[in-house]
Chains A and B, each alone.
Chain A
Amino acid sequence: MASRKKVLLKVIILGDSGVGKTSLMNQFVNKKFSNQYKATIGADFLTKEVIVDDRIVTMQIWDTAGQERFQSLGMAFFRGADCCVLVFDVTAPNTFKSLESWRDEFLIQASPRDPDNFPFVILGNKVDLENRGVSAKRAQQWCQSKNDLPYFETSAKEAVNVELAFQTIARNALAQETEAELYNEFPDQIKLNANDNARNRDGDNCAC
C-alpha cells in the first residue's frame, strides 16, 4: 500500500436549497448535526479519509449553493468530479422533481468523459420527518429508470444511512477515478466488459 499514490476523490453534492446538503456533509465528516447551518454561499468543501477495499482514499466533498441562479458559477467547482450526489427532501416533492435537471446540469457543466456511466448517487434526506411527500417506491423507480442509480434514504439529523451512503459514494467515485486515470489518454482502448476490473484488482469484495 505504501507505494501507492494517494487517491483524492472529488465528490459534488447537488440539490435544491434546503434539502440538507451541508447537513449531510457535516454529519458524514464531523458526525455533527445542527439546525442552524447557514445557507451555503459560493462553495465550500470538507475532506475525510475513508478506507475503500483496504485502500485509504481522501474524499473531498463539495457543497454548493442550492439556488438555481448560482449554478452558473458551479462549473469551476464541478471540474474533475469523480462522483455526484443528488439530494432531495423526502417531504418536498418539488425537490425530487428537480433531480432530473440537477443531473442534466451537472453533466453539462462538468462534462465527464463518459456521461452515461458517470456515477451518481441519489439521497432522499430527512426521513426522520413524518410528513413524507415522496415514497421510497417512487424514488427507487426513478433511480432504476436512470440506469439503476444507487438510492439511499437518509437522515442527516439522526445519522441514518449517512455512513453507508458515503461508503458507496466513495467506492463508485474510486471506480470512476481509476477509470479516468486509465482511459483518459486512451480513447481508443478496448472497453472492458467485466465490471470495473481495475477497481477489483485488490480483491473481489466489492458488490455494488
Chain B
Amino acid sequence: MSSSSAEDIPEQCKDLFTQDGVLLKSCIGRSINELNSIGMLCIVQNADSTKCVEWRPNDLITIDSDTQDQEWAVVNTIGRRQRTLSGNMTSDYATLRARIIKIPLSELKTFRVSRNNQQMQFSTKPGVWQMSFYFQHGNAEIFVAYLKNHVKTAKARNDKNTYIVVEPNRETQVLNKSFAELDIFTENPTDVVWSLVSNLRQRPYETTMEAFSKLTDIVYYGNEAMNGKRDVSEEVADLLTKSMSAMEDSTAVTRSDEYEVISVKPTLPPRPCIPRYALYYGNEAMNGKRDVSEEVADLLTKSMSAMEDSTAVTRSDEYEVISVKPTLPPRPCIPRGTPLSTEKWDGLQDTDGRVTEVEGVKQLIFRGGVAHSIRPSVWKYLLDYYPWTMTHSEIKNLQRRKTEEYFSMKLQWRSMTEGQESRFSEYRERKSLVEKDVNRTDRTHPFYAGENNPNLIVLQDILMTYVMYNFDLGYVQGMSDILAPLLLLLGNEVDSFWCFAGFMEKIAPNFDMDQAGMKQQLLHLQQLLTFASPELAQHLAQKDSGNMYFCFRWLLVWFKREFSHRDIMRLWEVLWTGLPCANFHLFICVAILDTEKDILIGKDYGFTEVLKHVNDLSMRLDVDKILSTAEGIYHQIVSAPHLTDQIRVILGLPTIGRSHTEDSHSDTEDKEASPKAECSRTNEASRSNATTNGNGTNQRVLFAPEADEYDRFIWPGEHNSNYIKTAKTLYIRIFVRWRHRLVSSPTEASTAKTLTYICPVATPTSFEPNGGFNIGSGTVLVYFGATGSVTLEYNGIQISVVTKTVWALLA
C-alpha cells in the first residue's frame, strides 16, 4: 500500500471499476481526521498497466468532475468509466490527492467481506487488516465479484468470508471465460434472480445500474470472451430484461428523497451497449433483416421463459406453495338515495309523536341521509337523546329533566372557587386543555369565527360540563371537533350537550387512556383491507404502514377533519344508523383507500408518502361517492363465500367456525409494523415460555373450536390447523357472561361477569383480582369491551372475541 501525492499522479490511469458510497473506516498510518469520510472504491489500471485497488474521497471526485467534462459530473452508484486527469490543480486538490489510498494488486494478500456485505477489509501482510471500508449500500459483494476478475483467489479454510489472493494478475484468463463463468454473481443463477428481484423492490435505481454495469462490462471489456457462444447472448438478454423492467420502475418513481436526481445518461458506458452487442451477435440484424430491438426482444422472451422454468423447480423446495386466493364477488354499484324528507319523517310518527318504523327510518337515513331542515329533530333520536318510542309529552318531560341535570352539572364547575381550583390540578389541566382547543376549533367557519365569539363560550361550557359528566374520561383532544358540528346545527346548549354525550357513547373507545380502542380499530381496519384489497394491504405492509396509523385521524374524530361541515353531517348521520353492519366506518376507510389504491401502489409510496397523501386528501373527498363505494365493498365482502370469522367478528356477524387463516394473507399480517405483528412476536415469546414450563412437549397457544355451538378461534398468525390435531391437549374452558355494558374500570367489570373453567390436564393455579387466572407461568386476563366483546390476554398477547364461550387450547 502506498499513498500518492500531487507529484506522483500518473498522467493517465483508467478506472476499471468504481463503486461509490464507500466510507473509509480504518487505515493504518492515516490520520484519524481522514477516517469516516465517504468516497469511492475503484479498481484502477495504471499507466504502466499494473493495477490497484484505490479509494478516493468524494471531495476529490467533486473537484475532479468540475474540471472535466460535465457529463461526468454526476457519479453514479456503480459504473465504469475512463477518465484522464487534467492539470490545473489547486493546492486543495493536492491535499485531497494525498488522501487517496492505493493497494497494488500485486501486494494484496487477503481480503474479507463481512457484516452483510457492508464491510470489506484488505491486507497486504498476513495477520493484519490494514484497512477497512464500509459500503453504505451493503453491496460489497459486487466489488468482490469484480476484484475476482483481476486476481485469482481462494477462500480461506476457516472463514468463508476471507479470500486469499493466489495469483495477482490473471485478467486474460478471466476474459477467456464465458459470461456465465465470470463470477459476476457469486451465487447460483436462481439466487441471483431472486436477489435481483428483491433488490429491485428495495432500491430499484442501484439495482438497475448494477445490472447495467455488469452488462456493460461484458460488452465493453469482454469482447474476446464472447466468441459467439449462444449462452452468452442469453445471459445478456437476461440482464437486459432485468435492467429494462427496473428502468421503468426507477423512472416512474421519484426517489428524490433518497437519491440525487440523476439522469440515466451519464451512467451508461461511453459506447451504447446494444449496438456493441449486436456487432457480435446481430450481424444479420444489422444488415437490415431485422431490427436490433426485435432481436433483443426475441432473446428477452426466450430468456424470460427459461428463467421461469428454472425458478419454478427450485422454488418448490424453498418457498411455500401459494394457493390461488379466492376472489371477491364483483362490486355492486349502489346509488345513493334521497335524504329523509320532512313529509316522510312526519309520516313515520304516530299522532302522539312516537316513531313507529324505527328500522325503516334508519334504512332511509342510511340510504340518503336526512334533509337539513329536520336534522335538529332527527339527530336527537339518532344520538339516543330522545328514545324513538316516546310521545311528544314524554319528550317534553325528558327535556325538562335533562335541562335540569345539565345545569346542575354545569353549576358544579361554575361554582368552583379560585382556591378550590388551585388545589385541584386534574381539573385545572382539563380546563386548560379545553380552553386551548376551543380557541382553535373550526375558527374559519363563520359560526365560530372572530374574536370574542359567544359560540366559543358555549362550546367551552359544554365541554367543561362534559368533564363533570364523565370526569374519568375528562377532555381528550378531538372532542371539540366532535362537538362543533353538533352545536352548529342544534344551536341549543342543552340539546348539543346531550347529543354530544350520545355521540361520545358511540365512540368512547377512541379516547381510552391506553388507546386500546384505537389500536383495535386500526387492527380491524388492516384485517378488513387485507380481505377487501389484499394487494393494497400487502403494499402497505411492505412499506411499514401495515399498522394503518395514517388512518388515525380519520378514525379518532370520524373523518371530521376530512370533510366540510355539510358533508360531515351527512356522513355522520349515515354512520349513526349502525347500518348495514357494525364498524361500517371502517368500510369508509377501505373505500377511500381503495379509491387511492392506484396512486399508493403505482407511485410506490412509502411510510411518509402514504401519510402525507392521506393527510392531503382532506377536503378533497366526495362523501356520496365514498358512501356508495363503501356500501359496494360491504356487499362484496358479506357475500364472499370465503368470508372468515375474523371479518365476521368485525362486522358483528355470528361466527361460523371458519378461521381466517385458510388463505395465505398471513404474509401481510406478519409484517413488523402491524399491530398484529406485535401479538405475533409476543406469541413467540409465550411459546417459548410455554415450552420451558410445560412437560417437555412443544407447546403452542391456540384458541380452538370445540363444538359447533361454540365460536371458534385460532390464534392470530397461526396458519396451520394441524396443530389442533396433533396437540397434546390441555383444555381450558372459560365461560364468560356479562350482565351489562362495559365499564371502563376493572373493578366494575369484574362484577359484571362470571367466569368458570374446565381444565382436564392442567389446572389454573389462581384467579387474578381483575378476572383472569394463572396457568403455568402465564396469566390469562379477561377484559370486557364496550360492545359485549371479550378480550383474552395471555402473556401479553390479546385476542378479541364476541362470544359467550371461548376455548383456549394449549397444544
Contacts and interface: CB of A to CB of B under 8 A. Distances in A.
Interface of A: 1-6, 8, 17-18, 35-39, 41-45, 58, 60, 65-67, 69-70, 72-73, 76-77, 92, 94, 181-182, 185-186, 189, 192, 194, 197-198, 201-202
Given A2-B260, A8-B257, A41-B477, A194 B33 contact: yes
Nearest to B137: A5
Contacts, number: 137
A43 B118 CA distance: 34
Interface string B9-47: 000000000001101010000001101111000000000
Contacts of B260: 2-6
A201 B37 contact: yes
A189 B36 CA distance: 10
Given A3-B65, A76-B547, A201-B33, 6 more contacts: A5-B21, A41-B481, A41-B561, A43-B552, A66-B477, A76-B607
B420 interface: no
A197 B33 contact: yes
B552 A42 contact: yes
Contacts of B439: 35
B243 interface: no
Contacts of B259: 5-6
A77 to B, nearest CB: 8
B708 interface: no
A45 to B, nearest CB: 7
Given A18-B436, A70-B477, A6 B257 contact: yes
Contact of B440 (A37, A44, A194): A37
B440 A41 contact: no
B661 interface: no
A76 B540 CA distance: 14
Contacts of A8: 257-258
Nearest to B76: A3
Given A185-B119, A198-B36, A17 B436 contact: yes
B515 A72 contact: yes
The 8 closest A-B pairs by CB, nearest first: A18-B436, A42-B552, A42-B553, A36-B443, A3-B75, A41-B553, A67-B477, A198-B36
B549 A45 contact: no
A181 B22 CA distance: 11
A18 B439 CA distance: 10
Contacts of A44: 611-612, 615
Nearest to B64: A3
Nearest to A201: B37
Main secondary structure of the interface of A (DSSP, over half): loop
Given A1-B62, A69-B476, A194-B33, A36 B549 contact: no
10 contacts: A2-B62, A4-B38, A17-B436, A36-B444, A38-B440, A39-B440, A42-B553, A70-B477, A70-B515, A186-B134
B513 interface: yes
B433 interface: yes
A102 B654 CA distance: 44
A70 B552 CA distance: 10
A72 B550 CA distance: 14
Contacts of B627: none
Contact of B673 (A60, A76, A194): A76
B433 A38 contact: no
A69 B556 CA distance: 13
Contacts of A186: 25, 119, 134
A67 B134 contact: no
Contact of B514 (A35, A72, A185, A198): A72
B433 A3 contact: no
B115 interface: yes
B32 A197 contact: yes
Given A73-B515, A185-B115, A35 B443 contact: yes
Interface in B203-259: 256-259
Contacts of B480: 39
B151 interface: no
A198 B477 contact: no
B168 interface: no
B755 interface: no
A39 B549 CA distance: 17
Contacts of A198: 36-37
Interface in B438-480: 439-444, 476-478, 480
Interface in B399-444: 429, 432-433, 436-437, 439-444
B58 A3 contact: yes
Nearest to B115: A185
B61 A6 contact: no
A68 to B, nearest CB: 9
